[in-house]
Structure 1
Amino acid sequence: MIRFGVIGTNWITDRFLQAVKEMNDFSLTAVYSRTSDRAREFAEKYQVHHTFTSIEEMAISEVLDAVYIASPNSFHAGQAITLLNHGKHVLCEKPFASNAAEVEKMIEAAKRNDVLLMEAMRTTFLPNFTLIKENLYKLGKIRRYAASYCQYSSRYDTYKAGTVLNAFNPVFSNGSLMDLGVYCIYPMVVLFGEPKEVKATCFMLDSGVDGEGSLLVKYDEMEAVIMHSKITDSNLPSEIQGEEGTMIIDHIAAPGHVEIRYRDGKKEVISTMQEGDGMYDEARAFVDLIKQGKKESSINTHRNSYVTAAILDAAREEMGLIFSADNNRKPC
């Protein structure tokens, strides 16, 4: 039985806990929130007896083995490092941290303390993403990766009415690129590795974060085009274009239908049915790694998380998007 604490009492934590409720080796034993009232309220919902309002006290507690972090992005690195330094395994929501310098410190802490650290990018653990990887060879020489994630934020109307919530606040290292663009970038890194060059543009909101934007990413023999937005919707699929065919992916963050259209006109559906919430797959992988004594995922590797963070840094530099957390970061 792996005893978990959670940091963050929002909808994503609720979704995570619903996804893992059938796991017989997962036990929720602790809840952290910045206010004791919210911590108790959330704990009562899940019949948990231990609550914390101090990360340090949570880190030294003997009632948990691992922690799922779903706090605002700007808190990820500090919270993770404190927990790692006290021997706790950490599953941290995407984006891993505010910048690559923070990611590097997180990785160093995990290695120094011989504990597991993994980014909670669920996409790469989904069965259909595995099928995407396994069928890439059918496309021939890959020439373009085109990914789009544009979803009108439920918080944007509140923003337009004059209230800046966390989702559009640079203090919390937020914005369209960090929230949605990362879902396009991380799979690209897993499939194709580290790029040679990153160009980026965006529409900057008055609050100081990007509402939407685009990236043009250069590899040796291919390019990637990425579109992301929190202020518009898009129904465009994503594509991986090869010289022998094109793979069409209905949703890059959660592939449901994936097919290949060959140059000779033939079509091949390669996707399978996704069973349950995709967050189960990442949680199952994380718990299995702990039980196997592993300290790093072979899928969401430390390197993949670092390269993704470096791409986000390079894009933000082009966009002129600066976070408070960038004060001490090293240039990419």
Structure 2
Amino acid sequence: MTIKKGRCIVLKFAIIGTNTITEKLIEAGRSHPEFELTGVYSRNQERADAFADQYGAPLRFTKMTDLALSEEIEAVYIASPNALHAEHAVTLMKHGKHVLCEKPMASNQQEIAGMIDTAKNQGVVLMEAMKSTLMPGFSAVKQHLHKLGPVRRYVGNFCKYSSRYDAYKQGEILNAFKPELSNGSLMDLGIYGIYPMAALFGAPRSIKASGLFLESGVDGQGSVTADYGDMEGVVMHSKIIDSHSPSEIQGERGTMIIPNISEPENIHILHRDGTREELTAVSDFPPMYYEVAEFIDVIRRGTNQSSVNSFEHTLITARIMEEARRQIGLLYPADE
């Protein structure tokens, strides 16, 4: 239920997952006057209690059914392993909970389609928590895209050496490198290049993908080339190397430079006449704030999806990634 808090309506959130990404979500959410952390879910009671105590959440859950049935929780942020997203989301939505689900939304298109159907049938909001496309920088990209003239190439580059890769090389396989959890470079990092491409240009005619496999069975890096007919999209991703090259949108009248595709800021256009145009798009809040704000706004508007992180964009992205996985031979247990 909603309650009054000053002039604002407070939305009572629970979070699934007690990791770095949930910590960032909570810190960002607290910048929003309508966000209230009410509950924490973890399969481990001690971990749930410690995390809830740290962030002042009064409710702690170790059973999904208890969280789903709680009348004190209105919305849930899901940051469990990718392979569990669909199961958790469907269970919660069937009990009337709005769901903000960490990217990637689920393991494959079939799971996502089921999640979307559930959201529509239950009249609740479901949104993929892709932060970058909701930040002011991405709004600036869309606003100024026409200045490039006909766009001929989109380059989405996100290669970041994983903090867990050193442990992997020492023989400790953490969740980020476990195929049974639907993880890997494409799903975890490639999506940062693919989702904006889908949001800007829609579905490609076809794609070609390559990937480098690690011994655990996940992809450590790879690339996707998308054919749009009059333009191409090129996405590069890796969890085992760093890249310091920016992402770009290349047009006949100029090129837009995006230094960090996962958190787009400091964007500029290099025009054909040699001039440089800075695109002023200041982020006044932490990067994840904007997905929280959009999610809450969608709920308050009474619609079931975001116009930016929409069902369409989520499904296009999922189709691209699933086809890329098919081409490189990467199957998850969830695909069977």
The code of the aligned residue for 2:83 comes to S
Aligned AA (2:80): S
Contact 2:31 2:285 in 1 (8 A): no
Partner residue, 1:310: 319
Q: 1:81 to 1:46 in 2, by over 3 A?
A: same
Confirm whether residue 71 of structure 1 aligns to residue 80 of structure 2.
yes
The partner residue of 2:200 within 177, 191, 195 is 191
CA drift at 1:130: 0.3
Shift of 1:28: 1.1
What is the deviation of 1:55?
1.2
CA distance in 2, matches of 1:156, 1:130: 33
The AA in structure 1 aligned to 2:214 is: L
SS at match of 1:51: strand
In the alignment, structure 1 residue 200 sits paired with structure 2 residue 209: yes
After TM superposition, the runs of 4+ consecutive aligned structure 1 residues lying more than 6 A away are: none
Supply the AA of the counterpart residue of 2:25.
F
Q: Aligned-pair distance for 1:22? A: 2.7
The one-letter amino acid paired with 1:110 is A
Structure 2: how far apart are the matches of 1:214 and 1:271? 30
Does residue 6 of structure 1 match 2:15? yes
Give the structure 1 partner of residue 244 of structure 2: 235
Aligned residue in 2 for 1:251 = 260
Q: How does 1:290-301 map to 2 (within 5 A)?
A: 290-301=299-310
CA RMSD of aligned residues (A): 0.9
Kindly provide the CA deviation profile for residues 152-204 of structure 1, in whole angstroms up to 9, marking residues without a partner as x: 00100100001111000001100110110000000000000011101100110
Deviates more, 1:297-306 or 1:41-50: 41-50
Quote the offset at 1:23 in angstroms.
2.1
User: Which residue number in structure 1 is paired with residue 40 of structure 2?
Assistant: 31
Scaled by the length of structure 2, the TM-score of the pair is 0.96
- Residue 149 of structure 1: CA displacement? 0.3
**Code of the aligned partner of 1:189:** A
Partner of 1:45: 54
Q: In 2, Cα distance between the equivalents of 1:196 and 1:51?
A: 47
Amino acid at match of 1:75: L
**In 2: Cα distance, 1:22 partner to 1:298 partner:** 23
| Superposed CA offset, 1:189-223 (max 9, x none) | 00000111011001100000000101111112110
> Equivalences for 1:267-278 in 2 at 5 Å?
267-278=276-287
SS at match of 2:204: coil
Q: Return the alpha-carbon distance in structure 2 between the equivalents of residues 152 and 85 of structure 1.
A: 38
1:76 CA displacement? 0.3
Residue type of the alignment partner of 2:21: I
Tell me the TM-score normalized by structure 1. 0.97
Determine whether 1:284 maps to 2:293.
Answer: yes
The yes-or-no answer on 1:148 pairing with 2:153 is no
Instruction: Provide the secondary structure at the position in 1 that maps to 2:93.
Output: helix
C-alpha displacement at 1:272, in angstroms?
2.3
- Superposed, 1:9-24 pairs within 5 Å as 9-24=18-33
- AA partner of residue 131 (structure 2): R
Q: CA deviation at 1:20?
A: 1.4
Q: Residue 164 of structure 1: which of 159, 162, 173 is its match?
A: 173
Other-structure match for 2:5: none
Amino acid in structure 1 at the alignment position of 2:143: E
72-81 or 248-257: bigger deviation: 248-257
What whole-Å deviation, never above 9, does each CA across 1:101-138 have from its counterpart, x for those lacking one? Answer: 11100000000101000000010111110010011111
Structure 1: gaps spanning 5 or more residues: 328-332
Counterpart residue type for residue 190 of structure 1: A
User: Quick one: distance in 2 between partners of 1:325 and 1:154?
Assistant: 26
Secondary structure of the structure 2 residue equivalent to 1:58: helix
Residue aligning to 2:270? 261
Q: How many percent identity over aligned positions?
A: 50
Aligned twin of 1:181: 190
